[in-house]
């Protein structure tokens, strides 16, 4: 079989600035030739006689590029369709740490919530709005929900005698009309690896339209945390497996396994805290008051881990936490943490596997950066890129001896 694929013409959907070494800078609308697709994320392309890597997510094949206007980049039909059924709402409501965190925020702030106006964006079955109405005395709660679940939510509000306070509005938060500005904008918008789904964009747009000056955002801030880790079980299950398959050598399938299982992050990974090789570091922090929609296109963070354990380094694990500030000056805030040391949540953690595990030693340093690049076409998606290098004191010591 030929290794090389025939050259294909693609169009750059948006600009990309390369790193100046093996990556190529392209401008929106550039026509280029894809020479090779060594991974699903990075392709080797040629533009005006110069070669380099470009993120595959930025490229669309000639004909498809012309058709993209017709498709919905938000995939709303599918997205809101899935929230129109109970499955996801059951999963979210069954998540005690998540739901109790929102309840705790309302209970702790019940006195200050009195006579306040609240918007609950993406209210789902309305649990947060109902907590507000039952546990505090707000003047009004506007519960906004785009999916067909809104009809059931209205019924639940009635059934629980909250219709005096809670008004359910069915529609996209971006389009809905509220009768007044709000004091508090509450929303549970966090997706896998914090940003996936990019519901946060809807929250920012609603903030700019409906939150009064000096109003409160719940959550008020969000943090993405990263750690280098072991993932022995997952590696054994998806990669080492092929070494001895019923006594046969299936290792020729390993490159395929790499593509299929390790090129994309593994969501819903439950990580044993003991598998952390270093102290986790916060790599990205979002301030929900100052964050802008344009900032979401590309978010970057740096890390420098000092390994506290020796052993196989299989990849990086990521999770997020959010913080709800008190309505009272100096009051205690509430945190919802989805890390391996906190109460488990339905988000669990996200695992990024290395192509191959590396044996690492105590004291080794892993430095690098993480980039969350939003897909220029499919607005709910993103590509996560980790650049890193490891410097080992053990190897340095060995090479010193050899010299
Ligand atoms: N307008 C109204 N409802 C929305 C919007 C929007 N722009 N976006 C999402 N929802 N944490 N990742 C609704 C959606 O239909 C679902 O009921 C809920 O918000 C998602 C909340 C959990 N998702 C998440």
Instruction: Provide the residue-wise pLDDT of the chain in tens; the chain has 403 residues.
Output: 444 556 788 888 877 888 878 898 887 778 899 999 988 888 999 988 889 999 988 888 876 666 556 579 999 999 999 999 999 999 999 999 999 999 999 999 999 999 999 999 999 999 999 999 999 999 999 999 999 999 999 999 999 999 999 999 999 999 999 999 999 999 999 999 999 999 999 999 999 999 999 999 999 999 999 999 999 999 999 999 999 999 999 999 999 999 999 999 999 999 999 999 999 999 999 999 999 999 999 999 999 999 999 999 999 999 999 999 999 999 999 999 999 999 999 999 999 999 999 999 999 999 999 999 999 989 999 999 999 999 987 655 454 344 3
Tokens of 226: 């990263």
Pairwise CA distance, residues 338 & 321, whole Å: 6
Q: For ligand 1, atom 13, which residue shows the shortest CA distance?
A: 122
- Are 360 and 277 a contacting pair, CB within 8 Å? yes
Residue 328, class by beta-carbon neighbours within 10 Å (0-12 exposed, 13-18 middle, 19+ buried)?
A: exposed
> Measured from the CB, is residue 200 less than 6 Å from ligand 1?
no
Instruction: Convert the pLDDT of each residue in 262-298 to its tens digit.
Output: 999 999 999 999 999 999 999 999 999 999 999 999 9
> Measured from the CB, is residue 364 less than 6 Å from ligand 1?
no
Rounded to the nearest whole angstrom, what is the distance from the C-alpha of residue 203 to the centroid of ligand 1?
10
Average pLDDT of the chain is 93
Instruction: Convert the pLDDT of each residue in 349-398 to its tens digit.
Output: 999 999 999 999 999 999 999 999 999 989 999 999 999 999 987 655 45
Handedness of CA 83, 89, 90, 91 (dihedral sign): positive
> Measured from the CB, is residue 190 less than 6 Å from ligand 1?
yes
> Measured from the CB, is residue 277 less than 6 Å from ligand 1?
no
Q: For ligand 1, atom 20, which residue shows the shortest CA distance?
A: 122
Q: Which residues pair with 10 in a beta bridge?
A: 32, 61
Rounded to the nearest whole angstrom, what is the distance from the C-alpha of residue 159 to the centroid of ligand 1?
23
Strand spans (E) along 307-364: 311-324, 334-337, 349-360
Tokens of 134: 């039952």
> Measured from the CB, is residue 188 less than 6 Å from ligand 1?
yes
Rounded to the nearest whole angstrom, what is the distance from the C-alpha of residue 150 to the centroid of ligand 1?
11
Q: Using the CB atoms, write b or e for 80-119: b if 16+ within 10 Å.
A: beebbeeeebeebeebeebbebbbebbebbbebbeebbbb
Question: Pick the catalytic residue: 2, 78, 188, 298?
Answer: 188
To the query of whether residue 308 is one of the catalytic residues in this protein, the response is no
Q: Would the pTM count as exceeding 0.85? A: yes
Rounded to the nearest whole angstrom, what is the distance from the C-alpha of residue 382 to the centroid of ligand 1?
18
Could you give the C-alpha distances from 181 to 113, 117, 212, 323, in angstroms and in order?
15, 8, 6, 23
Q: For ligand 1, atom 24, which residue shows the shortest CA distance?
A: 189
User: What number does the ligand 1 atom closest to the CA of 174 have?
Assistant: 7
């Amino acid at each position: 079989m030929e290794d090389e694929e025939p050259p294909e013409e693609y169009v750059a959907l948006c600009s990309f600035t390369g790193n100046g070494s093996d990556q190529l800078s392209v401008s929106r609308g550039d026509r280029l030739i894809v020479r090779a697709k060594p991974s699903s994320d990075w392709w080797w392309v040629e533009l005006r006689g110069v070669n380099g890597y470009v993120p595959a997510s930025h490229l669309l094949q000639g004909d498809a590029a012309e058709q993209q206007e017709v498709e919905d980049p938000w995939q709303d039909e599918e997205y809101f369709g899935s929230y129109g059924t109970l499955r996801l709402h059951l999963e979210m409501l069954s998540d005690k740490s998540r739901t109790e965190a929102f309840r705790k925020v309302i209970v702790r702030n019940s006195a200050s919530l009195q006579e306040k106006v609240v918007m609950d964006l993406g209210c789902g079955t309305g649990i947060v709005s109902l907590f507000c109405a039952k546990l505090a005395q707000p003047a009004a709660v506007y519960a906004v929900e785009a999916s067909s679940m809104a009809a059931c939510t209205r019924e639940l509000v009635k059934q629980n005698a909250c219709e005096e306070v809670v008004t359910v509005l069915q529609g996209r938060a971006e389009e809905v009309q509220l009768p007044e500005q709000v004091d508090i904008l509450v929303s549970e918008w966090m997706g896998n690896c914090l940003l996936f789904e990019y519901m946060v964009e809807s929250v920012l747009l609603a903030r700019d339209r409906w939150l009064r000056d000096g109003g409160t955002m719940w959550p008020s801030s969000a943090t993405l945390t990263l750690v280098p880790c072991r993932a022995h079980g997952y590696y054994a299950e998806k990669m080492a497996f092929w070494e001895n398959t019923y006594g046969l050598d299936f290792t020729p399938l390993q490159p395929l396994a790499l593509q299929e299982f390790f090129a994309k992050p593994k969501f819903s990974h439950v990580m044993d805290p003991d598998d952390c090789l270093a102290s986790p570091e916060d790599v990205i922090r979002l301030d929900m008051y100052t964050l802008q929609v344009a900032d979401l296109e590309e978010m970057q963070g740096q890390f420098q881990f000092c390994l506290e354990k020796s052993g196989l380094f299989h990849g990086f694990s990521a999770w997020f936490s959010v913080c709800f500030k008190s309505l009272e000056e100096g009051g205690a805030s509430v945190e919802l943490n989805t890390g391996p040391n906190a109460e488990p949540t339905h988000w669990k953690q996200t695992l990024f596997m290395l192509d191959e595990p590396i044996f690492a030693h105590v004291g080794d340093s892993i430095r690098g950066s993480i980039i969350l690049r939003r897909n220029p076409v499919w607005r709910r998606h993103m590509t996560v890129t980790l650049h890193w290098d490891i410097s080992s004191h053990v190897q340095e010591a060995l090479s010193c001896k050899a010299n």
